[in-house]
Amino acid sequence: MTKEGKENCCAWTKALSEGRLSRRSWLRGMLGTGVALPAIATMLAETGVAIGTADGARPLRIFNVPKFTGFVYFELAKAGGAKACAELGAQQIYIGTTTADVEGQVQVLQNILPQRPDGIVIAALDLNAPVPVLRRARSQGTVVVTFDADVASAGRDLFVNMAPFEIQAKAMLESALANAPDGGQSIWIAPTPTVANFISQKKALDQLIATVPRYRSIRFIDTLYANDDPEKSYAVGSSAMQAHPELKLFISGSGISNPAINKAIQDTGRTGKVFSTGFALPSTMTTFLENGTCKEFALWSPYQYGYMATYCAILLKSGKLAAKPGTKVDVPTIGERTIGSGAVTDLDQMVFFTKGHEDFNDAIPMKS
């Protein structure tokens, strides 16, 4: 074997052991450099549990449980999860309710339990309701990774946050000022009072408004709940605009509420007077950017988000990652991330969408 071939073998094996290369890709590379099969078998044995497999033969089964199915955000996250499974030799099972139903999501998890999943990747609808069944899953060896919305720490091994909550809040407030430079009366829109990430987002928003002079012109006068439902969001937005004639801004982390409220603004002739911003999918907001109903909003890639959460779940179950503070994980196409206190890490790829920058290909990256 040439010196270059030896160097490649060492690099590939290191990447395999760290979870950055699938077993299939590693094997293809090793065979391509002329390494004999007995030597390959010895190397595999030395790396411990093979990535993506439960016992060296059966693929790991990762159950992806969204808040609800049929919404493009979670379909994109599902596609990202499928890519991670394909790269690491695991299998993804996508299952969930068709509406934002807390009891329904808990029932889905209960139905999964007898199948003894290797991993559950879940976007939780409630901070506490899923915890008892997730604890039972963990007691039988299932790895639980939350993304998009967390559960209490007893119910999971790792939370992959979209970004630190201060960064999320800053992205929302910058988008708010891009729409309404003078700030003004604002309403926070959340699905329910018990969705973990919305609670943390609002706390971070309040903290920034209280401490950063740039944001003090934004004044929250109420919090309203729309259950991540487009019809309810439209109705809540319409009623709020009637009740508060001086209202200037709706701010929300809901990718369903924002386009619905923008439609309410448009339909009631309040374009340019009231704005709805925060987080939303670009495909749902193109019309509102084009006609000026919304001037700017923010998000991250749901595809990359689902990819990272699933990738980490597979590494955790394969014994290639420990969810301990200070542990680093190198996720392909995303980069190196560190696990912090409380077993939390971040995708941390916020971007802004404006007219002329309406999709992920030309979105404007958030500056640190």
CA–CA gap between residue 178 and residue 248 (Å, rounded): 12
Query: How far apart (Å, rounded) are the C-alpha atoms in residues 44 and 12?
Result: 12
The pLDDT, as a whole number, for residue 225 is 98
* Angle between the N-to-C axes of helices 23-32 and 3-17, in degrees from 0 to 180, rounded to the nearest 10: 170
User: Do the beta carbons of residue 363 and residue 180 sit within 8 Å?
Assistant: no
Q: How far apart are CA 154 and CA 135, in angstroms?
A: 7
How far is the CA of 364 from the CAs of 141, 258, 353, in angstroms?
Answer: 41, 19, 7
DSSP β-ladder status, 158-161 and 335-338: unpaired
For 245-283, how does the pLDDT look when each residue is reduced to its tens digit (9 = 90+)?
A: 999 999 999 999 999 999 999 999 999 999 999 999 999
Q: How far does CA 48 lie from the centroid of its chain?
A: 30
**Among 166, 191, 164, which residue's Cα sits nearest to residue 253?**
191
What is 84-124 written as a DSSP string?
Answer: HHHHHT-EEEE---SS--HHHHHHHHHHHGGG--SEEEE--
The ranges assigned to domains in the chain are: 3-46, 61-163+302-346, 165-298
- The Cα 305–Cα 162 span in angstroms is 7
State how far the alpha carbon of 363 is from the alpha carbons of 281, 291, 303, 341, in Å.
12, 18, 15, 31
End-to-end CA distance of the chain: 46
Looking at residue 47, what is its pLDDT?
A: 47
Domain range 61-163+302-346, its CATH number among 3.40.50.2300, 3.40.50.1370, 3.40.50.300, 3.40.50.150: 3.40.50.2300
So what's the architecture of 165-298 in CATH? 3-Layer(aba) Sandwich (3.40)
What is the structure's pLDDT at 218? 98
In degrees rounded to 5, what are phi and psi of residue 59? Answer: -65, 145
Amino acid at 139: S
- What local confidence, expressed as pLDDT, does residue 20 receive? 56
**Looking at residue 52, what is its pLDDT?**
81
Burial class (CB in 10 A: 0-12, 13-18, 19+), 80: buried
* pLDDT mean by block of 10 residues, the chain; 368 residues: 65 60 64 66 52 76 97 95 96 96 97 96 97 98 97 98 96 98 98 94 98 98 97 98 98 97 98 98 96 97 97 96 95 95 96 94 88
How far apart, in whole angstroms, are the C-alpha atoms of residue 9 and residue 25? 12
Could you check whether 61-163+302-346 and 165-298 share the same CATH topology? yes
Which pLDDT does position 45 carry in this prediction?
46
Residue type, position 295, single letter: K
DSSP bridge partners of 122: 65, 146
Task: Give the pTM.
Answer: 0.80
